[in-house]
Amino acid sequence: MICVGDALIQQGFAGAQIRRRYAQALIEQGSFHAAELVLRDVIADNSVPPSEKEEAQGLLGRSSKQIYVNANAPTNSRNVARLQNAVDSYWLSYALNQNYWNGINVVACLRRADSDGIKLRAPADPLKVAGDILKNLQDREEQSTSGELPAFELATFVETHLALGQVPDAIKRAKMYAESKDADAFEVASTLRQMEEVWRLRDNQPPGDVILPILRAALLQRQGGFLQLSASAARTNLEKVFGADKSVSLTWYQCGLERAKSIARIETNDKGFGTGWLVNASDFFPGRNGLLLLTNAHVIGPNTSDRYPGALRPEDATVHFQIQGLRMPAGKVVFHSPVNELDATFLELPNLPPGAVALPLDPSVLTLDTPPQRLYIIGYPGGRDLEFSLQDNHLLAASERLVHYRTPSEGGSSGSPVFGPTDWKAVALHHAGRKDMPRLDGQAGTYEANEGIALAALTKKTSGR
């Protein structure tokens, strides 16, 4: 959005909507000063309609709020001034047009100030503002011919109920919001961020222990959804028992978390280097029992002449199951297919996490449907904590040997399992990504794609069939 906005503005297309979205993208990327210059320019422009000025005013509040949250320094007077600016900007926009989103942000910022022990100038009683917003939303719901409200109003319902201490109602509205058809990944991610950063909901405390998983599940199921979880948050979510009355997406989310217990970060010198995952030895090597760790040959390779130059030797690698908090040596290589073949290494670990299970496999050859099916990666991109990658993740093409997909990945994702669209079954071993990947769909040329080794090819190779 930044690139498109910049190009349009350079060409003289500098309407208020373009500049506002450009500023919004700058805020999302953390370029707050640049965003505020653009927004103030919109507000000062007499040709801009009042509705766009109100939107820009609200985004100024968003910028100040994020600066305060990012700093996490409530004793710093400059940061306190930023939170006051956020309240004032949101209130100005709310007072002009009774915009629910800006009004509830006034309440949320004042509540955050209270929790930080900060005294701000409150333009109104936050409980009264929340009560007024709730009444207006309830009136709108009653007047709706479809009985449904837009997603952003359902999200406002959640915050309003939180402000008024109506936790069961907040949970009910969170589920309605998660199931709303017009809540896209951008909006759900913004709501989740608001709950975590401003309302300070936590996985190990109510109501965050229920609301946060609902929102994360909703985010992962949206096109463009992306989620980074700490090991402790994943562990806490796994300990929750979600009843049958919860959204189906919660069951799907919890299943993904359960699969993540079998996925480890490959480390060297305590830094992430790649990803590996547990498989049943019998799925690949007939007659062999137990569990093995599968990763790329360019992540770990044996001390042989065909070892990839950049690969770790087994004795230099540590396998870290983050959710269980268990580290161990990489063990010994039992099978190795070089990078120029299937780029795979199987290792026999010296021990296993408690209750360790293998990931379920789907070794069938993938087919390209309309619309194309989605693929998912769980791994440790960039050597960071556990991440679910579901953004821009359509299957592009597949053969018996390779799978091409748009699922984003980074260094550290190498060796991750690639999951198909049903029941979190692994379909491929992720190993590469290029902007000029030779096409696999029978057409000439290249495309931007990631590449995985199809499990069909791996099982055929290891079993000798």
Average confidence (pLDDT) over 304-323: 93
Tokens of 251: 């069951």
- Same CATH fold assignment for domains 2-231 and 261-465: no
Domain residue extents for the chain: 2-231, 261-465
Q: What's the whole-number average pLDDT of the chain?
A: 89
Tokens of 257: 């978390």
Q: Give the pLDDT band of residue 408 (cuts 50, 70, 90).
A: low
346 - beta bridge partners? 294, 335
pLDDT over threshold 70, residue 342:
yes
Report the topology of domain 2-231.
1.25.40
Alpha carbon 362 to chain centroid, angstroms: 24
- The helix-helix angle for 16-28 and 32-44 (nearest 10°) equals 160
What class is the 261-465 domain? mainly beta
Instruction: Please give the share of the chain, as a percent, with pLDDT higher than 90.
Output: 64
Average confidence (pLDDT) over 128-132: 96
277 - beta bridge partners? 263, 294
User: Which of 135, 43, 133, 49 lies closest to 89 in space, CA to CA?
Assistant: 43
Q: What's the confidence (pLDDT) of residue 391?
A: 56
pLDDT over threshold 70, residue 206:
yes
Q: What's the confidence (pLDDT) of residue 238?
A: 63
Contacts of residues 242-250 at CB distance under 8 Å and 24 or more positions apart, as own/partner, are: 242/213, 246/175, 246/214, 247/175, 247/178, 247/179, 247/214, 247/217, 247/218, 249/178, 249/179, 249/214, 249/217, 249/218, 249/220, 249/221, 250/213, 250/214, 250/217
Q: What's the confidence (pLDDT) of residue 74?
A: 93
Which range (136-140, 240-244, 304-308) has the least confidence? 240-244
Q: What's the confidence (pLDDT) of residue 423?
A: 84
Distance CA 321, CA 309 (A): 26
How many H helices and E strands in the chain? 15, 15
pLDDT over threshold 70, residue 222:
yes
Q: Which residues have CB under 8 Å from 44's CB, separation 6+?
A: none
Average confidence (pLDDT) over 325-348: 95
Terminal C-alpha separation, the chain: 49
Is pTM beyond 0.75? Reply is no
Average confidence (pLDDT) over 163-179: 95
Average confidence (pLDDT) over 401-405: 92
pLDDT digits (tens, 9 = 90+) for 69-96: 999 999 999 999 999 999 999 999 898 8
Which range (154-163, 181-190, 281-290, 343-352) has the least confidence? 181-190
Average confidence (pLDDT) over 227-251: 61
Q: Give the pLDDT band of residue 432 (cuts 50, 70, 90).
A: confident
Tokens of 356: 């360790």
Q: What's the confidence (pLDDT) of residue 412?
A: 46
More confident residue, 227 or 153: 153
Average confidence (pLDDT) over 439-451: 88
Q: Give the pLDDT band of residue 336 (cuts 50, 70, 90).
A: very high
Please give the angle made by the CA atoms of 304, 305 and 310, to the nearest 5 degrees: 85
Distance CA 148, CA 221 (A): 21
Q: Give the pLDDT band of residue 328 (cuts 50, 70, 90).
A: very high
Q: What's the confidence (pLDDT) of residue 227?
A: 67
